[in-house]
Amino acid sequence: MKRFITIHRGDSASESICQMVTRKLTEGGMVRDEHQPELVICVGGDGTLLKAFHEYIDKVEDVSFVGIHTGTLGFSTDYTQDQIDDFIADVLTKQPIIDEKRILEVTLKNTTKVSHYYALNEVRVENIVKTQTMDIHIDDSYFETFRGNGVCISGQYGSTAYNRSIGGAVIYPGLDLLQMTEISGIHHRHARSLGSPLVMNPHTTIRLTSDSFDHALLCYDHLHVHLDSIHDITIRNSDHVMRFARFKEIPHITRLNALF
């Protein structure tokens, strides 16, 4: 990897680290290239990494990501701000192991157009204004009618993010799965849904339909769009993947332990 770019979370300390990393890597023979980078260096936390992912979503097949932690949560970052010298040496001298993570693809439909969105962590259909009613189909088979705030769909990588905070299962690496977790489902004698996370194979297609998604949002990672005119939502694993450049090995248990 010869071409790189740095992205920081906006604070002065992270910006200073970006400047230092850029200087030392260029002195080591690498080239800063914001248009066609091979390596995207994220200085901040998991939020900065998501920002970088969406900034380079159109080039996601051609780039790899690595993180330096200066923020509040660094589950996906491999280095701390005290390990800059180690990071520089590793990037200049080591061939990274590429760790691929699946990307979720969402298709929104109404009577006039079709729109596509992508997420690394999770996709949520959520309504905090009123009870959201929707029919859920799994691989074209009717599954249930859900009533509540919404649902969250995530893969293995995103299982530790919002999904975990609403009681979803944390999925260990190597288990390539999809998961759907309810958000404040309503359960009484006249309305009932599964009431627990549903874990599915990675080729599953999830379809959500409703007469009205008015006031609901599609939340994809840290971004969102309004669903007022939408009646049909499909979520599946994309054919694309995000690539992490791992220059050193960190046990997954160590990463999990940093979450709590």
Active site residue ranges: 46
State the Cα–Cα distance between residues 151 and 155, nearest whole angstrom: 14
> What would the two tokens of residue 125 be?
């259909």
State the Cα–Cα distance between residues 7 and 163, nearest whole angstrom: 26
State the Cα–Cα distance between residues 157 and 54, nearest whole angstrom: 16
- Tokens 């932690």 belong to residue: 69
Give the C-alpha distances (Å, rounded to integers) separating 20 from 59, 91, 92, 93, 241: 25, 14, 14, 18, 30
First-to-final CA distance of the chain:
34
SS3 172: coil
> What would the two tokens of residue 96 be?
């990274």
Residues 6+ apart with CB under 8 A from 102: 155, 156, 157, 176, 202, 237, 238, 241
State the Cα–Cα distance between residues 121 and 155, nearest whole angstrom: 7
Find, among 232, 201, 218, 204, the residue nearest to 138 by Cα. 204
Half-sphere exposure of 208 (CA within 13 A, CB side): 27
